[in-house]
Structure formats: structure tokens, C-alpha cells
Amino acid sequence: MLTTRPRGTSDILPGEVEKWQYLEQVIRNLCREYGYREIRTPIFEHTELFERSVGEATDIVEKEMYTFKDRGNRSISLRPEGTAAVVRAYLENRLYAGPQPVKLYYLGPMFRYDRPQAGRYRQFHQFGVEALGSHDPALDAEVMAMAMDLYSRLGLKEIELHVNSLGCPQCRPVFRERLREFFRERDGVLCRHCRDRLERNPLRILDCKEEGCRGAAQGAPTVLGSLCSPCEDHFRAVLGYLEQLGVPYTVNPCLVRGLDYYNRTAFEVVARDVGAQSSIGGGGRYDGLVEACGGPDVPGIGFASGLERVLLAMERQGISVPSPPGLDVFLVAADEAAREQSLVLVQQLRKSGLAADRDYMGRSLKAQMKFAGKLGVGLVAICGAGELARGAVILRDMRTGIQEEVPLSKLVEEVKLRCTGRKESAPVNGNHAGA
């Protein structure tokens, strides 16, 4: 139906969008302080990019991507995540030729065909950071500290950082074989996707959400018992840096990120207030991804956070956000002559940097005042033919009811003076659109 939005999407309306703007501003301030610069990539990419980077044996590629043929018969997919597109842009624009590491962040919509539930939608919004060009385990710790810093600034409580190592191409094959041996004895209870993954990539079985597969994974070998010496040293260094930074963490040997490109460090941030899908963010190291996409051997690490889930966690923890200031002044016309002049006046106020508006519905004087009250405007400038003839308006404080006549030449100055110190932050009430 034309009047119904597609399933798994949401409208973010005025009154709700202010929460998103606040969250995005906190994110932008955080990224500036950590030295990350914004990158904006296309919403769709060639499907092969996600097949090669995310992994053909992942749920995203197998079941969740929005893929179609364009008019040139090319396979195109709406981006299901942000890292692959950032890596493609890093390569195409030769950012690897400049000073390293390159620290980037993105904000924007992603798309996955998934069963809609609390905090999860088919069009969802994600914030992510990517740091490309360094193997330093201190960078791993910084990225995790940055994630926890974000949630702390937003006022979230009872959040936990879970950390694991996934090994590298040298030691992971040993772990994969141990997993294959373990799951071959249990393949009768695996779903059809996991029976296929058993030979191609058994790690994906650990990430499967099917009940039979989750039960079969109980008691499975952990990757920490198969790490080579360099991976073990790297993991110990990461944990040491987290301790130096005072970032609490839990080593979770069962943690497996859902994308194939991760290696060594993997982490997830979980909150108790978002239902069954408790993760509000996560990431890890992807040292082979740039090379797999056709570039040089460049290491990388990053994390991403779903904005809907963050807002849901904030809502369930009762965290309110400051609302932006509304209109500074509303012009009320007492008669037709003043109605014509008020359009010029309101534009002059706007050009001076004030937020101003007027009536466009032909309301009576009384109805205009009532409408201004509903808007929550603190100041109303009332003008009629008499006031205009004297070169003045009546400025009324809607909170106190006190009003006085002000010369038109002093209107901007008076409004600015009265607005100074009057705008106080107030919480935005109501549930966010993604709840």
C-alpha cells in the first residue's frame, strides 16, 4: 500500500529525530577527539565486494543481502555493513599511499533482509570506525576504549566488553580442523546451512542462531587453545593495554564475529537492556581484508554500532537527551496590513541568526497566540497597523505574560538579549522511532 512503509523500516519523525541528532553529535565529537575523519561511501556497491570481503558462507551473503541486477546487467547490492565499502574506497583512492594509519568513520543506513525485532530492522543505521595501516596492539585497545567511551558519554550503564582472539591464517587452520572433527560427530542436528559450512568454514557454525546448532556448539573447542605464538603475544598485549587504560573486559573464548574477514582481535559490547539481541556494537581486526580486495598487505581494525540498538538501550535505561532550542520568536499579525509586513520582518530576523516563524493559515489574533503557545515559543512579536505606523512591535514574554513596545530598529537586539540565558536544555520525551 502507498500509505504503509515497507516491513522492517521506520519513519523517524520530529520529536524523535532530535535524539538521533544528539547521538550523531556525540559521535562526531568523539571521532574528532580520537583523530577520525568522516568518509561517505555509496549506499550500493558491486555484489562481489561483499562476497569477497564479508564471506560467501556468512548469513549476510547467503540470506540477508538486498541484491539486484541493474540496467547494465551488473549485480548490485545495498550495503549490509560499512567496512567493505571503506576498504574499497581506501584502495580506489590510494589512501594507502599517504601517512598511516588512516583513521576513518562513517554514519549511515545499512540494509539486511532479516526478521524485524526490537532494535533490528531491514534498513538500519550504523556508526563505524576503521583504522587502516597499523599492526600495533595498542590500536586495538584504543578502538575498544573508544567504543566504551561512546557508550559512557551517552550515559549507558551495565555494558560489558567481551574480547577474544580469532587467530591468523597460520594458526586458524588448526582450530578449523579441531572444529570439523567436533561437529562431524554432531552433523545430524546441524541446520542445512551449517552442514554446508562444516567443510567450508566451520567457525560460522559457532555464530549460527538456530537452536539445534547452538546446542551442538556446547563444549566446542575454543580458538585460544590453538593460537600461534605471535597471535598469543598480540592478544596478551591487547589485554595489557586495556588494563592500562582502565577498560574492564571479559575474555569470551566463544565469541566469533559474523563476518569472515576478522582475524586476531574480536570484540563485542553487550547491554542487558535490548532484549535477546544484547549486542550494541562490536568489531575486530581484519589484517587480510585489503589484500583480499586486490590491494597491498595492509592491516586494519574497526568497530561498528547500530544506532537503533543504542537508542533502545538508552530508552530502556531511562536516559533522556537534551533537546535543541526551538523558535526564538513568533510573529503575530493583528490585521491584514501587518500580515503582509510580517513576512518581511520574519525574514529579517532569520538573516540576523534568529529562529523565527509566522502564521500561514490565516488564523485570528487569538488563534495565532494559542498556536505560538503550542509551539512552546518564549517570545511573541505582535504587530498591527498602529504599531507599524509607529515603527514598533509589541514584544510579549509568553512565560511571564509581560509585554512592552519595542522599536523595529531594536527588535533583533531585544530578541537576542532576551534569548540569552533563557534557553535551557530539556529532555526529549517519548519513544524513539526505532523502538
Report pLDDT for 58: 59
Whether residue 264 contacts residue 285, with contact meaning beta carbons closer than 8 Å, is answered with yes
Residue linked to cell 577498560: 247
pLDDT of residue 136: 97
How far from each other are the two terminal CA atoms of the chain, in whole angstroms? 23
User: pLDDT tens digits, residue range 64-83?
Assistant: 888 999 999 999 999 999 99
Amino acid symbol at 395: L
CA angle 136, 142, 144 (to 5 degrees): 115
pLDDT of residue 204: 75
Closest CA to 163 of 133, 137, 196, 182: 137
pLDDT of residue 433: 39
The residue among 158, 153, 163 whose CA lies nearest residue 31 is 153
Which among 206, 153, 155 is positioned nearest to 179, based on CA atoms? Answer: 206
Determine the pLDDT at residue 322. 86
Each domain of the chain, given as residue ranges in start order, spans: 17-171+227-316, 329-419
Q: Between 2.60.40.1930, 3.40.640.10, 3.30.930.10, 3.40.50.1860, what CATH number should domain 17-171+227-316 receive?
A: 3.30.930.10
| Cβ-proximal residues to 248 (8 Å cutoff; 6+ apart), any chain | 160, 161
Under DSSP, is residue 238 helix (H, G, I), strand (E, B) or coil? helix
Output the pTM of the full model: 0.86
Enumerate residues 6+ apart whose C-beta is below 8 A from 71: none
Query: Which of 3.50.50.60, 3.40.605.10, 3.40.50.800, 3.90.76.10 would CATH assign to domain 329-419?
Result: 3.40.50.800
At 37 the pLDDT is 98
Render each residue's pLDDT in the chain as its tens digit; 435 residues: 678 988 988 999 998 999 999 999 999 999 999 999 999 999 999 999 988 777 655 566 667 888 999 999 999 999 999 999 999 999 999 999 999 999 999 999 999 987 777 767 899 999 999 999 999 999 999 999 999 999 999 999 989 999 999 999 888 888 888 888 888 888 788 888 888 888 777 877 877 778 888 888 888 888 888 899 999 999 999 999 999 999 999 999 888 765 667 889 999 999 876 655 588 999 999 998 898 888 999 999 999 999 999 999 999 999 998 888 889 999 999 999 899 889 999 999 999 999 999 999 999 999 999 999 999 999 999 999 999 999 999 999 999 999 999 999 999 999 999 887 554 434 444 444 333
Q: Cell match 556468512: residue?
A: 58
Calculate the CA dihedral of residues 381, 382, 384, 386 and round it to 10 degrees: -80
What are the grid coordinates assigned to 434, written together? 526505532
